[in-house]
Amino acid sequence: MSVAPLAKLLPGIPGLPSLEQLLAAGANIGHKVLYGGLADLRPMPRTLIDDGTLREVYHYRAGAGSHPTGLPVLLVTPLAAPALCFDLRRGCSLVEHLVKLQRPTYLVEYGEVSFADRRLGVEHWIDEVLPAAVRAVSEHAGGQPVHLVGWSLGGIFATLTAADHGDLPIASVTALGSPFDVSRVPLIAPFRPLVNLADGAVLGGIYRVLGGAPKPLVRRAFQLSSIDKLVTKPLAVVRNLDDAEFLAQIEAVDRFTANMIAYPGRSFGQLYHRFLRANALASGGYDLDDRRIELSTLDKPLLVLAGSGDSIAPIASVQPLVEMVPQASPRFEVVPGGHLGMLTGRAARGTTWKILDGFMTGIDADHLPAADAPRPEADQATTDSAPATAPIGMNRKRRHPSAATRSALTPKR
């Protein structure tokens, strides 16, 4: 029986799809079969401007004739997650949003992690990677201070770096979905006996042998953190076959998960023993080998965002940061979405991104002349979709490129 007669015979029966839904579902299935998917996964165009050991700093290129507006923003990725978190797909890409607003947009990612990187600890990111990235972005943007925006562990690294390096040209810090008190993460509670087994020696021995946490393990852990969604995903897809946006988001998230990266051994050990077992950040600071970082010393404006449905960093685990940084005049907001959804879900476009825009724009006014302050969004020009210099998420080991390569990749200022 054809679709049209079926709709006429069974009009308005609850639970049955309408003719329009059936036609839309058929079109979506056909598009996926013919073209391989519904999501526009083209990466935003970018250029490498600086790199080092597990450090790659990119500048996102705006369209021809654009006028840079506002202070530069540096997006800080967490360990093990690909930079796709900030450029998930067209229409749900924070990078695309910022570039369309003509804000100078940069990102730091870390490339592929290998066994040779097993001795790199958390201090490498706090003392080397982020300070070097901030200075490179500030220089590339004409000496302006930089907005740091970090997601998950990237937000923790950004906050610790800003608190410990007061001399860096940082305009503000934003931490999205960053848990500072892991005792308030219900997801961890069932695994607490395993985490503390033999005073941590069991899991500790495993990651030392492996040189860290390998990619397959990281990918599976992220999937299991949303086990309810993983189990119900097939049914959700069937129920939403007529919703191209829903299906495109599923495709983009699947690609993100497939591109997870390994943890370096020593860094994973510190995260396991100090962040997870000892809940060190809940004390208001973090002990490195040679000093302690006190979060109370942070004196840059701070925005803290928590996802209402986040199981990895629930609201109760994120909010304690606000009480630790009295000098930062912190602002705290709860936004819709889970751990990734709060950053780049469909609802983030009208919530998380708007809050972030307003926060950074208010700070821009204290640093920039009126002519360079951000304009209303309706006045912004959009960027074209030129091919990317380096596809985001396709990480590779790039440590010391030749002078010729660096010259070719670095834009003229």
Contact 106, 72 (CB under 8 A): yes
Band (22; pLDDT cuts 50, 70, 90): confident
Q: Would you tell me the crossing angle of helices 244-258 and 215-224 to the nearest 10 degrees?
A: 140
Nearest to 152 by CA among 269, 317, 284: 317
Query: What span, in angstroms and rounded, lies between the C-alpha atoms of 304 and 319?
Result: 8
Asked if residue 142 has pLDDT above 50, the reply is yes
Average pLDDT over every residue of 163-172: 97
pLDDT, residue 35, reads 63
The model's pTM: 0.76
E strand or H helix that includes residue 149 = strand 146-151
Asked if residue 89 has pLDDT above 60, the reply is yes
Asked if residue 60 has pLDDT above 80, the reply is yes
pLDDT (tens digit per residue) in 284-300: 999 988 899 999 999 99
Percent of the chain with pLDDT over 90: 48
pLDDT, residue 32, reads 66
Asked if residue 385 has pLDDT above 50, the reply is no
Average pLDDT over every residue of 157-178: 97
Domain segments of the chain as ranges: 46-228+252-402
Output 60 or 81, whichever has higher pLDDT. 60
For the chain, the maximum distance between any two Cα atoms, rounded to a whole number of angstroms, is: 76
> What fold does the segment set 46-228+252-402 form as a domain?
Rossmann fold (3.40.50)
Percent of the chain with pLDDT over 70: 69
Identify the burial level of 15 via C-beta atoms within 10 angstroms of its C-beta, where 0-12 means exposed, 13-18 middle and 19 or more buried.
exposed
pLDDT, residue 153, reads 93
